[in-house]
Amino acid sequence: MARRWTSDLSPRDVTPERAFLNRRQILGGLAAAGAVTLSSPRARAQEALEPNSWEEITSYNNFYEFGTGKDDPARYAGQMATSPWTVAINGLVDRPGEYAFKDIMARMEIEERIYRFRCVEAWSMVVPWTGFELADLLDMAGIQERATHVAFETLLRPEEMPGVARPVLDWPYVEGLRLDEAMHPLTLMATGIYGRDIPNQNGAPLRLVVPWKYGFKSIKSVVRITLTDSEPPTSWNVANSREYGFYSNVNPDVDHPRWSQATEREIGGGLFSPRKPTLMFNGYEDEVASLYEGMDLSVHF
């Protein structure tokens, strides 16, 4: 089993549930390209908000397979069948096959992780995820020596996902990590948030969470994991490599071409709360900087 990780965050640091699930509505009145979160590596307590109803909470999200409108995922994601669910694990593994989600869950060590979450749009939050380390799942499949990267693929069911009728991206949505990134104890396969199963629009039943990278790297509704010996294509990099690099590490010194990444706005802190300095690697520099030793992060962004 992988080395377990201990958080420097506590339950009081968690972004209010209403703010996490309703963040698009909260940001709707902002003229800036983004709004974000978090303070120092020892994050301060968040301002509490009165929760909305579950229906309101899940009304705003971003999952382009269900449409580009902010309420499209909540409107249409309910028709996505998530049970039974299988994940194909193939490529350079000793035990390739279709793994049933329920069998995976029975074999994994499930725990809660409180992580910072930073969007490329320059807003951030703190989220309590429930899940297991990706390393444990890959070890279960048996990693072969030639493997250097891990590729991920999202479900593609046009009859349940009206958004794929539009060529917003090349479908299915794909993502990837270097093997050492995938095996890092911070890298999580999440199955829940706020003590509940992940809603469909948030990536049910299984999504990747890589807390030192921008949020779009955390691919949703995963159906395939492939071990490869080369860097795999990733959807946003294919769509616009100038704006979205393969690594997509949170880096205050590397701006998005259309906005600065030097600061961020805290979700849940109020529309007019002061912007905070963006933390290198989203506050996980001590844990992950060694992965990129010797690399020019302005080139490998």
Binding site per annotation, positions: 61, 64-65, 119, 154, 202, 207, 218-220
**HEC sequence for the chain:** CCCCCCCCCCHHHCCCHHHHHCHHHHHCCCCCCCCCCCCCCCCCCCCCCCCCCHHHHCCCCCCHHHCCCCCHHHHHHHHCCCCCCEEEEEECECCCEEEEHHHHHHHCCCEEEEEEEECCCCEEEEEEEEEEEHHHHHHHHCECCCCCEEEEEECCCCCCCHHHHCCCCCCCCEEEEEHHHHCCCCCEEEEEECCEECCHHHCCCCEEECCCECHHHCCCCEEEEEEECCCCCCHHHHHCCCCCCCCCECCCCCCECCECCCEEEECCCCCCCCCEECCHHHHCHHHHHHHHCCCCCCCCC
Binding residues for Mo-molybdopterin: 61, 64-65, 119, 154, 202, 207, 218-220
